[in-house]
Homo-oligomer: A and B are copies of this chain.
Amino acid sequence: MHSRSPASRTGRPRSATADAAILAATRAALVELGWSKLTLGDVATRAGVAKTTLYRRWSGKNELVVDAVAELFDELELPDSGSLAADIEGVVLQFAAILARPEAKSGLMAVVAEATRDDALRERIRESVVDRQKRLVLEGRSRAQARGELPPEPDPVTASRTADLIFDMVAGAVVHRTLVSGEPVDEEWVRGFTLVLLRGLAAEAAHPAAG
């Protein structure tokens, strides 16, 4: 989560209940009000805590919403369905289901927008949201290579680059479809997407093709 260091061993400990209540209240406020109309005073009232308590734990709206939205991605798991295509389809559908929730929609993109001018916020998003998604890509590829569906990478540099490319293609397409195009990520779309991606990757691996 946020700060983990138990810098203080003495004194009254912070209420763990309050943390959970604040984050839940933040998500509820995101659903009802959206990002722009969400105020920290309102969140504090919903959570049943004082506004000052909220400010003692989070430095502002951005950090609070990142933590509140990050919890939504806890449920993301890579299903071991036996084939790479099914793995991808399963993860994409899970990711899309989370992204379709109103608290994720209005909150996530807003903090990403803010992160363009705030390096610390960008790093916070990376740690609590993005890296968890990226790990699924790495794990999925490793499984597919073990099954022989994808060839092993020749060197770690291109392996890392390809993983980054795949991640941006998968997450980017789903996010863009959901938030910009405003169309649902249903099974039909996922099938078409997976088809294009997988065949592109298989062919790309067969023909390394460095320009």
Contacts and interface: CB of A to CB of B under 8 A. Distances in A.
Contacts of A201: 196, 200
A54 interface: no
A143 to B, nearest CB: 20
Taking the full assembly, how many copies of this chain does it contain?
A: 2
Interface string A153-190: 00000000110110111011111110111110001110
A174 B193 CA distance: 16
Contacts of A35: 113-114
A36 interface: yes
Interface in A116-175: 116-117, 122, 125, 130, 161-162, 164-165, 167-169, 171-175
Given A34-B116, A105-B116, 13 more contacts: A36-B114, A102-B116, A116-B179, A168-B180, A168-B181, A169-B169, A169-B173, A173-B173, A175-B175, A187-B211, A188-B211, A196-B197, A203-B203
Interface of A: 34-36, 102, 105-106, 108-110, 112-117, 122, 125, 130, 161-162, 164-165, 167-169, 171-177, 179-183, 187-189, 191-193, 195-201, 203-204, 209, 211
